[in-house]
Structure 1
Amino acid sequence: MPLATVHLLRHGEVHNPDKVLYGRLPEFHLSDLGRTMAQRAAEHFTARRDAGAKIVLLAASPLDRAQETAAPTAAALGLEIVTEPRIIEATNHFEGLSRIGSQLKRPRHWPYLVNPLRPSWGESYSAQVERMMEAVRTQRDAALEIGGPGAEAVLVGHQLPIWVTRRAAEGKPLWHDPRRRECTLTSVTSLVFEGNRLVDVRYEEPSADLLAGAANIPGA
Structure 2
Amino acid sequence: MPAAQIHLVRHGEVENPHGVLYGRLEGFGLSELGHRMAAAAAADLVGRERPIAALYSSPLQRTRESAAPIADAFGLDPVIDERLVEPENRFEGTRMAGRGGALRDPRNWRHLVNPWRPSWGEPFRLIAERMLQAMADAERGVDAGDIVMVSHQLPIWMVHRRVAGEPLSHDPRRRRCALSSITTFERRGDLLVEVGYRDPAASIGDEARDLGAV
Above 0.5 in TM-score? yes
Per-residue CA deviations over 1:150-174 (Å, capped at 9, x if unaligned) read: x210000000111111011101111
Q: Secondary structure at 1:91's aligned position in 2?
A: coil
How does the TM-score come out when normalised to structure 2? 0.94
Residue 208 in 1 paired to residue 202 in 2? yes
- Pairwise CA RMSD of aligned residues? 1.5
Aligned-partner Cα distance in 1 for 2:188–2:212: 33
Aligned-partner Cα distance in 2 for 1:159–1:218: 11
Aligned to 2:191: 197
CA contact (8 A) 2:11 2:62 kept: yes
CA contact (8 A) 1:186 1:207 kept: yes
Aligned to 1:66: 63
Give the drift of 1:103: 1.4
Q: Secondary structure at 1:104's aligned position in 2?
A: helix
Alignment partner of 2:168 out of 170, 174, 198: 174
How does the TM-score come out when normalised to structure 1? 0.92
CA contact (8 A) 1:9 1:189 kept: yes
CA contact (8 A) 1:179 1:218 kept: no
Give the drift of 1:200: 3.5
Give the drift of 1:218: 6.0
Q: Secondary structure at 2:83's aligned position in 1?
A: helix
Give the drift of 1:100: 3.6
Tell me, which stretches of 5 or more residues in structure 1 are unaligned?
none
Identity, % of aligned positions: 46
Aligned to 2:108: 109
Aligned-partner Cα distance in 2 for 1:100–1:202: 33
Tell me, which stretches of 5 or more residues in structure 2 are unaligned?
none
Give the drift of 1:199: 3.3
CA contact (8 A) 2:2 2:140 kept: no
Residue 78 in 1 paired to residue 72 in 2? no
